Structure 1
Amino acid sequence: MTPDPDAVADCVLATFRQLPDKRKPRPQSDGAREWVPLAGIVLADKDGKLSCVSLGTGMKCLPSNKLPLAHGNALHDWHAEVLAIRAFNRFLLDELLLLLLTPPHLPSLYLREVPSAERTLAQPQPFTLRDDIRIYMYCSEAPCGDASMELTMAAQEDATPWTSPVPTVTSAATTTTTTTLPPSQETQVPTALRGRTHFAHLGAVRCKPSRPDAPPTLSKSCTDKLALSQATSLLSSLTSLLVSPRNAYLHTLVLPASQHVPAACTRAFSSAGRMAPVAARAGDWGGGYAWRAFAVLGTAREFAWSRRMVGSSVRAASSNISAVWTPGWQETVIGGVLQGRRQFDARGASRVCRGAMWKVAVRVAAAVGMPALMQVLGKRAYKDVKESEALGARRRVKGDVKREALKGWVENRGDDGFGLGT
């Protein structure tokens, strides 16, 4: 039974209200009112009880030319949806640490151990989410990218669709690198669009940020990342080494009615839209991976710090403060690192950055006592873990989705050569 979308929204909004003021948008001296997007993950048990287990606020990301400076310590993308999902993964790893290392080792409400007899070569993970758990997500804004294009057009003084051609790159059909070949061996494929440019071209993969005057990035839009998660689950690579993806798929996405454009969500996310090719062949994947489309429902609830709540008589200013929360901890992020720290200082690493997540995954694996898993997680560099055979099934799923549905997806590389000691 799907809970009332208002109840899902209320669960996240009530959690945010309990945060200290220092993690919320601030008044500005010139009278402007700050706003920020909010997203949260809510789990429902078999009795329908709702629990918010992670939330994030934010709308910024790291420019591509800064990625080599991150060394696993700075976040690449701190849009609200991305932070909420990263915090959800950290919540699961923290739950496992409590289960394994903290007396009296009480069972988790959300995770269970998979007995050795149930593990297979395709699904060797020692844990899984409980079968009766369902995952919901509330977002205070339509996710940036394709699911918000109609809203972007409606906000223009002239909403007449642009007729400029979609940018393409020339590449060989059998390779992902741009090359020069005879015309008979070349194919024109779409490339990711920048933010809201060419906003009338619908169904396209888009990169952040939306503002044309901001430094470019290769971080894909929240719409595209959520669309991909319908095949990969909400688990990150590291978490998926410890927790099976089979029960970790989003069930329902809840948006304010003002941000919910059904046609846009159908096109962006569903098997009736651009995801049709992968939805039709999802049975080929194995490893706990499947096509799991989520529903999108509207709610009457509005976030007090949304842009719509600023009012027409007051200047709206985007907040540079991002809050990250789980039941066990909370933090404030500015510029991809902890507030008060220099941007690429290792002491400013968020609990949800790549390096921190890798370290906690190693702690969990050590507590489980699986030598093969420790061998994977103990590799020299982060990229070696990501390229390991243990994550081969996940890479194949991502490859299929990007090739067949999310065409134009460009990899965001530059911060994967760091090690555990960095």
Structure 2
Amino acid sequence: MDVSGDEIADAVLTQFDSWEKKRKPMNRADNVKEWVPLSGIVLHDAKTGTLKCVAAATGMKCLPQKLIPRAQGVTLHDWHAEIFAIRSFNRFILEECQVLVTSDKKSSEYVRRRDELEKSETHAQPFALNDGVNIYMYCSEAPCGDASMELTMAAQEDATPWAKAESSLTEKPILHGRGYFSNLGVTRRKPSRPDAPPTLSKSCTDKIALKQSTSLLSSITSLMVSPENIYIHSLVLPHSQLSTVAVERAFSPSGRLKELDGREWDSGYRFSPFRVLGTTREFSYSRRQNDAKELVPSNISSLWTPYGAETIIGGTMQGRKQFDVRGASKVCKRRLWKLAAEISSAAESTEWGTYLLKDKYLNLKDGDMLAQRRKVKEDVRKVMGGWIRNEGGEDFALDGVES
């Protein structure tokens, strides 16, 4: 049974409507309203027809490059809604695995233990997504970067590009935000105000494009769960935010990723392009609220999974100081690492447990068990071009946080 864009959007929007007021943008005095992007992950069980939102998030900010070394696996680097929702989905998947190992069940509604016959030396993760489950992603705004360039141009009174590229346009440079927006099909950094500290965080378009090859799993989750069928089936955007030309160029095998068409790697990785569906639904806190005197960005970000919710400001849980370990979000690197280590311990997996207890996160990322995933990322980044690594702040140990 096929699923429509409206059904996917409804699943995420209905979930957002149930959130507490404190996790939503505010309506200020004098009819000034806040806006924020919303994104969510919806799972569809093709056998039963069940449709369920399992992760949703709002947000529109990221950490400046100069502050990355201070993050130390505690403060989030990027909490744009799309990336925040993907991180929340990873948390959901790991928590499903935790339920299995603590209850000794073989399968939950969405995650199962893998049989020994399924495993190989290079593809030995103990868990997998259940067969027949399709993954849908909803975004209330066009992802920043290449998939939104036509919309950016259409919104200008003067369509003259804002600034020239920082390097030769023949070398696939990385461009700042919406700078030189007539240069299409290139890797871009997150957009920001001209006076804001620069970031090397890649646009949501570029990060989602990469996920078509690495799967939606993060490095930590991919150590525990097979990436084989954890790819986006369809991306859903409001019709007002959907430029067919832009999304085909940004994501499809006929666009900038054509060199990856049909590509497969070891360990369950492959290039898996998604469909893009439109929806008539509009998010009530989008940039297209037409009943406000003025719209201003919200500085509050929130995440939700069936296992809990959080409010985030500055990459840290609301009420805590930025970079304070006590403010570590449940989707930060350190807490995801801690959770995966606990799952491995409960499962009495000696090989995985030893690997997950490396002394530093950097050594875990550079270890043998993630070599194939690094290969996939390197190959895709080479095709996309202009991908400057946002490095630093990964020399932390697994301590100081709860899972």
Specify the TM-score bucket, using the shorter chain as the normaliser. Answer: over 0.9
Q: Distance in 2 between matches of 1:102 and 1:385?
A: 28
Q: Distance in 2 between matches of 1:27 and 1:302?
A: 18
Tell me the TM-score normalised to structure 2 length: 0.96
Letter in 1 for 2:274: F
**Superposed counterparts of 1:221-260, under 5 Å:** 221-260=203-242
Gaps of 5+ in 2: none
* 3-state SS of 1:77 partner: coil
* 3-state SS of 2:326 partner: helix
Once the two structures are TM-superposed, the CA of residue 107 in structure 1 deviates from its matched residue by: 3.0
Once the two structures are TM-superposed, the CA of residue 279 in structure 1 deviates from its matched residue by: 1.8
Q: Distance in 1 between matches of 2:327 and 2:164?
A: 43
Once the two structures are TM-superposed, the CA of residue 166 in structure 1 deviates from its matched residue by: 6.5
For the aligned residue pairs, the C-alpha RMSD in angstroms reads: 1.6
Does the CA-based 8 Å contact 1:35-1:310 persist in structure 2? no
* 3-state SS of 2:2 partner: coil
1:414 to 382, 392, 397: 392
Q: Distance in 1 between matches of 2:202 and 2:290?
A: 28
Once the two structures are TM-superposed, the CA of residue 115 in structure 1 deviates from its matched residue by: 1.1
Q: Does 1:387 align with 2:366?
A: yes
Match of 1:303 in 2: 283
* 3-state SS of 1:350 partner: coil
Q: Does 1:345 align with 2:324?
A: yes
1:398 to 366, 377, 385: 377
Letter in 1 for 2:93: L
Does the CA-based 8 Å contact 1:3-1:48 persist in structure 2? no
What count of residue pairs does the alignment treat as equivalent?
399
Once the two structures are TM-superposed, the CA of residue 286 in structure 1 deviates from its matched residue by: 1.6
Match of 1:185 in 2: none
Q: Does 1:143 align with 2:143?
A: yes
Match of 2:189 in 1: 207
Once the two structures are TM-superposed, the CA of residue 310 in structure 1 deviates from its matched residue by: 4.4
Q: What is the CA deviation profile of residues 323-380 of structure 1, one whole-angstrom value per residue up to 9, with x for unaligned ones? A: 1000010010011011111111111010000111110010111122221111211111
Q: Distance in 2 between matches of 1:212 and 1:143?
A: 19
Match of 2:108 in 1: 108
Q: What is the CA deviation profile of residues 53-73 of structure 1, one whole-angstrom value per residue up to 9, with x for unaligned ones? A: 000000000111111111111
Seen in structure 2, the aligned counterparts of structure 1 residues 81 and 341 have a Cα distance that, compared at 3 Å, is: same
Does the CA-based 8 Å contact 2:164-2:179 persist in structure 1? no
**Superposed counterparts of 1:4-403, under 5 Å:** 4-45=4-45, 46-102=47-103, 105=105, 107-160=107-160, 164=164, 167-168=167-168, 189-280=171-262, 282-283=263-264, 285-311=265-291, 314-403=293-382
Match of 1:175 in 2: none
Once the two structures are TM-superposed, the CA of residue 399 in structure 1 deviates from its matched residue by: 0.4
Q: Distance in 2 between matches of 1:400 and 1:153?
A: 31
Q: Distance in 2 between matches of 1:417 and 1:240?
A: 20
Q: Distance in 1 between matches of 2:399 and 2:165?
A: 47
Q: Distance in 1 between matches of 2:252 and 2:102?
A: 41
* 3-state SS of 2:380 partner: helix
Q: Distance in 2 between matches of 1:297 and 1:118?
A: 33
Seq. identity, %: 52
Gaps of 5+ in 1: 170-187
Tell me the TM-score normalised to structure 1 length: 0.92
